[in-house]
Structure formats: C-alpha cells, structure tokens
Structure 1
C-alpha cells in the first residue's frame, strides 16, 4: 500500500471497496496514496450496520487527510456488479452479499459525510483504472486487468480509460463458459471461469466434496493443497486450469500488451504462472500479441484506489464543464 505524506499533493477523495468478504475504506490522493485505510467484514453483516461503521471510519480518514492539507469533497464506491449512480443505489448483488442488493448505502454514506457521490462503479473497472493509470499497466495500451477474489472481474484499459460497453456497461468476462458441462452458475450459464476459480467457488467446492469437512477459506485450501491434501489439490488444479484458459481467451479476444493480475490470488500466482504461460504458448498460432503478465502494483488496494481516482475524475469533469 502507498501511504500519503504531507507534500504538494492536495486533491483526494473518500473511497469504498465493497467485496464479498470484506469492505475497505479510506481517502485516496490523486497519485494513488491512501490515508486512513480501514477493513471490515462484509459477509453476514447487515448493510445498515456496515454503513454506520464505514461512516465512522471515513470520518476519521477524512479528518486526517484534511489535517494534512488535502481537500476531500467527493466519494467513490466500487462493488461487484452494475450500479446506478443517478439513484446512488447498489445493483443486484445479493448473490454475493445477501441483503445488500438495491441498498442506498453509497448515497446515504455520501450524505452522512457531507460530500458528493461522484463515482459508483464496478470493482473490476475500479481496479483496472488504478493499475492502468498508476500501476502495473502504465505504458501498456491496451492493458487487461484481471481481479481474482471472491469472484473474477476483468476490465480493459485503453488510453488511460476503462473501455466499457453500451451506456457504460461493464462486461462480465469472469462469466465466460470454459466447460460446457460444468456446474451451473448463478448467472444462468454452466462452467463459468468464476465457478472454478473464484474464491467463493473454491470454498464451495471444498465443502461439497464432503459435508463433514470443516469450512476453509480459499487461502487455506491453497495451503492444504501445498501440504499434499489430495482433495484440495484437485480443487486448486481446476482453478489453475480455468484461469489459464480464461487469460488465454482474453489474449485471443482483446490482444492486450499486458495482462495485470490482481486480487487475493496474486499472492498465489506462483501456483498459476506455469499453466498460464503454457496455455498462451499453445495459442501462439492465433495470437496477434503475446501479452506480458504482471502482478498488480496496488495488490488488494487496487479497487479502493480506483474508486478514489474515479471520484476525482468525475469531480474534475464537473468543474471543467
């Protein structure tokens, strides 16, 4: 994590990253430094309770930033799915966070803090904005950013901006089918990349193999596989294979100069890298570009940083009009 020092940087925004297991908050400066970062659990936490805790954390962070001479007038919120900035509501994210879908948390939080809700965006788009503008994707055009956490998000950066679909829509590349006979996914398809390699899917696969097993986090399942657990090893191998196919499909579809890997899985990339490299070599006859694979500069903070940058961009655009 980059932390701010009291220097000439004076533009900053409050930011929130809503993930499937945790929510992060802090103040992000224009060069991607974070002031007063906090982390709270999100899974199983009522949205009203989470909103109150976020407001408390962000008031402290904003006070620290202002004491250092930063102006904080806007808020950026990033979360999985599609959201409505006009109403300040989260989209249909109940499959990831039960009870949070449709919540006015972003709007209410901005009102509580006395700042403008300037950005409400998909978490993969936020991570891509951070890495493409300030991180591992700088100098690469186009750059694909893959965020593998509870789910899988992919976004493309062109000329420093997120390449979106119609009306600014976010494409869900984590839901491409890579095994037509695979398990059903909540999205309506079968055999999605995310249904093999997302952290939530890895945890479900562990429990479904034997109801008597104790719950494990995705990280613990990776550890068990490394220690020789056969069942954990099979789950991890499926995740590795799915990710190799997913990244190769990104290379075929978008011909990026660089693919940046972020999210919690980046810390386990040594388990994935050989399989991904091998799959990319197999696709050589069709690939226009062999992309460089890089790990994210901002790591687990990429979504939070991107939410802050998006808020600053929106604020600047409003002022310039």
Structure 2
C-alpha cells in the first residue's frame, strides 16, 4: 500500500497533464500512487496514462467534487491534491510528509507556489480577505524572499495541499470551484503549515481560462456570498457583502462588457438564493473563530492595490 496518494482533477489538460505527471514520477520520493479524476475532458487527455488510476466522469463535476472522488478512491495514508497544470519540484513531498508525520496538530501541509521559471513567488500560503476571497501571500516577490523554515499560514492553495486521508474533511461540493480553499480553512480546527523546502511551479488558471472570463467572474461572486453567510458573524457578514459588491463593481468597470455584467449578476442571484441555508451551517462560536482568520479590511485593500499594480 502506498504511503501517499496524489490526486489531480483534470479537464482538457492534453497540453499540460503529461508534463505534470512526468514531474510527479521523477520528483516524488515517497511510495505513491497517482489518481487522475477526469472531469468530462473532450481532448482525450485521460487516455493512455501509464501507471495512473483514472476516474472518468462524463459530466464536469468541478474541482471540489473531483478532489473528493479522488480522496475516496485513495489508499495512501496521506493524500496530496495537485493542480494538473503544475509541475512539482524534485523532492517536493518529503518536507510536507515530515510535517504531518511529526506533528499531529498540523492538519494541512503545503509548499511554495512559484512561477513556471521558479524565480518568483505566486503564494506563500493564502490569506483570506474580509469578502472571503483568497490571495497569495508575498505574490510577485523574488523567491529568495520566502521564509527560511516552516511557517503557519491561514490557508493552503488547492494547487498543493497535503492532508492525512483519515482526517480529510472533504471540500464542499456546493463550492464548485473558486472558494473551496477558504471554506476548508475556515472549517478547520488544526494548523496549516507551509514548508519552503517544497514547491510547485504553477501555470495559474489553465482550466478556467483567462483572468477576465465569465467563469472567473461568476463563481467567485456566487461563492463569496455563500462563504460569508456560512462562516461570519452578523457584522463581519455585512462588511463582507459590502466588500464583495465593491469588488465586483470595480471588476465590471474594468472589463466593461455585457457578458461580464451578466456573469456577476448571475453570481449574486445564485449566491443570495443560498444565503439563508448557509447561515444555518455553523454555530456562533465557529463563526467567531472563522472571522479571526480573516485579514483586516485596510490590509486587504492595500494588498489589492499592490496586486493590481503588479498585474497591470
């Protein structure tokens, strides 16, 4: 039985999945299995994958459900969730497995997300803004700026997350994509620890297309409302909704396209329809604990401006 099960959710990854699998085979030190959950690919990318277990879905089930189906099929003591458009660096797994082996208080282990050339940080863990959106800590800084040793972070990116299989909470399948990392972190009672000795080179957003797309406007608009309703006390919830409205208005003013307005409005319509049910999901004590994990509004606004300048 392998110690580690590596789960990848694939959707039309013919141009990147082979390289991802090659890097995993070459760079993984622990005895492992690789499980590819194919989510209705039309490019044949799930075929002829040597040494890989393929779970094929004719319907696109989304990232959260895909991860859950992979974890259910896993046999390893530990489960790693890796993006299908990312390449692990050599020996990526050992620092993360050692964290989980040595400290039962650590619930999630993660590593650095870096650009494809390995030189620049994409994320040293994730922060959660008051509107429940996530962003990468230290994004855009040189890799040399990363911490020298393990550090606690609020949330781990779904591009590189390792958990004990027996303790995996499951991703909420209502959060089809975009927001599952924040939801998991806000439900979690254990620690999330990043080890800089582990890294993955990430091509951000292959599966969902360019940064300005209907997918990237609809799902975040919808899911931020659900997460705020589920996890936040009344006053932070109100602040979160207002912050989401301001964020989406800014996005709309930037894109200035009818399709963008439709995507955002559909997100709000569908998210608001689920708010009442989401408010019943958590206790006041759980909401108070979750609210403490969010960064302050001023910090989030400052970081948003920095990232806008970086991406301009």
User: TM bucket by the smaller chain?
Assistant: under 0.3
Taking structure 2 as the reference length, what is the TM-score of the superposition? 0.25
Taking structure 1 as the reference length, what is the TM-score of the superposition? 0.24
Q: 1 or 2 for the larger relative contact order (CA 8 Å, sep ≥6)?
A: 1
